[in-house]
């Protein structure tokens, strides 16, 4: 049905139920964070899974989205939906530029260029204090009314905004992957020289995916800034770039639902293990090691393998 396998339909239904039930079981702020990072991770997974490129600088688009949304809402008094859309577009624009620069290189050099570009963005964020607030960040981002009509001050209300954007994101990602465009991208990942000889331009396809990944990251960043009311340098830093890669790896590279599960585990871990300080970092590192050594398919990837059906 619409290119969804049966397992995927069930998984999506479960996801919708989980999203509806979550605010009654979990602290809503945590659930919203899971959805924002899930969106961010899904975008990164498009790059890692569909194209096979490891980007070490996705936080640049995530943070930029947050800063743009925060600035528009706080300093220019705009409504949140404008902030979030603008955040996404800003991320996509930066993704277009950086993607054009980075796609020319392969593998490790691609990774290093994305790292370098992200560091430059971080530096820019530190320097442009009028826009980003520098080390203090943008604080006290108000939750103004959605479309000028619906107040978002109650956590339960803004939760639905996040849920709708998130679920739309899931459907969007699935659509991209299972479209003719997505098929070409997968073929490019599997055998690029062959696709070139068939007349396709692999670089253009890679660039589009790069932009989509940056778009999703920007939307996720804008959403998070609106919910948390604060945007700081952490969101544009190397640690966040590493964290989203961890989410994708843990959840399952190349799966639709993997990044969501990865985001859930990582966010939950940071929340519940926060009293234990640096042990969170140790555990994150251990998960990286274990995943690379013996669990490369990730949680959902392993599940999909057992079910012999894509997830």
Task: Restricting to residues 134-153, name those near other proteins by CB under 8 A.
Answer: 134-137, 139-140
Nearer to other proteins, 89 or 265 (CB): 265
Q: Find the binder of other proteins among 203, 280, 295, 305 (CB under 8 A).
A: 280
Convert 22-73 into a string of H (helix), E (strand) and C (coil).
HHHHCCHHHHHHHHHHHHHHHHHHHHHHHHCCCCCCCHHHHHHHHHHHHHHH
Asked whether 69 and 86 are in contact (CB, 8 A), the reply is yes
**16 binds other proteins, rule: CB under 8 A:** no
Neighbours of 275 (CB within 10 A): 7
Nearer to other proteins, 30 or 89 (CB): 30
Q: Find the binder of other proteins among 82, 115, 167, 184 (CB under 8 A).
A: 115
The interface region with other proteins, picked from 67-75, 77-85, 159-167, 291-299 by CB under 8 A, is 291-299
The interface region with other proteins, picked from 23-31, 67-75, 88-96, 213-221 by CB under 8 A, is 23-31
C-alpha closest to that of 216 among 55, 30, 48, 85: 85
Interface with other proteins in residues 182-211 (CB under 8 A): none
Residue 86 sits at the vertex; the CA angle it makes with 80 and 92, to the nearest 5 degrees, is: 145
Interface with other proteins in residues 32-91 (CB under 8 A): 54
Neighbours of 121 (CB within 10 A): 20
**109 binds other proteins, rule: CB under 8 A:** yes
Which residues, other chains included, contact 182 with Cβ-Cβ below 8 Å and sequence gap of 6+?
A: 50, 176
**273 binds other proteins, rule: CB under 8 A:** no
The interface region with other proteins, picked from 114-122, 165-173, 184-192, 193-201 by CB under 8 A, is 114-122
Q: How far out from the chain centre does Cα 131 lie?
A: 23
**157 binds other proteins, rule: CB under 8 A:** no
Tokens encoding 288:
């990286």
The interface region with other proteins, picked from 37-45, 162-170, 174-182, 274-282 by CB under 8 A, is 274-282
**164 binds other proteins, rule: CB under 8 A:** no
Which residues, other chains included, contact 100 with Cβ-Cβ below 8 Å and sequence gap of 6+?
A: 207
Q: Find the binder of other proteins among 111, 184, 187, 273 (CB under 8 A).
A: 111
**126 binds other proteins, rule: CB under 8 A:** yes
- The nearest distance, CB 167 to other proteins, in angstroms, is 15
Which residues, other chains included, contact 22 with Cβ-Cβ below 8 Å and sequence gap of 6+?
A: 28, 31
């Amino acid at each position: 049905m619409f290119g969804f396998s049966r397992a995927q339909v069930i998984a999506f239904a479960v996801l919708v139920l989980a999203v509806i039930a979550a605010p009654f079981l979990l602290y809503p702020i945590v659930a919203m964070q899971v959805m924002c990072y899930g969106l961010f991770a899904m975008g990164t997974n498009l790059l890692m899974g569909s194209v096979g490129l490891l980007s070490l600088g996705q936080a640049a688009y995530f943070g930029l989205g947050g800063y743009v949304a925060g600035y528009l809402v706080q300093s220019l008094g705009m409504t949140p939906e404008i902030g979030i859309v603008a955040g996404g577009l800003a991320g996509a624009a930066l993704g277009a530029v950086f993607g054009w620069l980075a796609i020319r290189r392969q593998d490790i050099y691609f990774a290093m260029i994305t790292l370098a570009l992200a560091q430059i963005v971080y530096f820019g964020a530190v320097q442009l204090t009028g826009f980003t607030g520098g080390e203090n960040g943008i604080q006290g981002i108000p939750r103004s009314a959605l479309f000028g009509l619906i107040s978002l001050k109650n956590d339960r209300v803004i939760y639905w905004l996040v849920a709708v954007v998130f679920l739309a994101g899931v459907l969007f990602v699935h659509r991209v992957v299972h479209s003719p465009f997505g098929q070409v991208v997968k073929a490019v990942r599997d055998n690029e020289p062959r696709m070139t000889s068939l007349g396709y331009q692999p670089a253009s396809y890679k660039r589009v995916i790069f932009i989509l990944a940056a778009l999703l990251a920007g939307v996720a960043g804008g959403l998070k800034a609106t919910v948390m009311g604060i945007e700081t340098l952490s969101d544009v830093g190397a640690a966040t770039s590493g964290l989203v890669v961890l989410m994708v790896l843990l959840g399952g590279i190349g799966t639709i639902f993997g990044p969501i599960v990865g985001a859930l585990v990582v966010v939950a871990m940071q929340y519940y293990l926060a009293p234990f300080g640096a042990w969170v970092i140790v555990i994150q590192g251990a998960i990286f090691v274990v995943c690379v050594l013996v669990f490369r398919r990730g949680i959902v990837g392993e599940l999909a393998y057992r079910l012999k059906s894509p997830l």
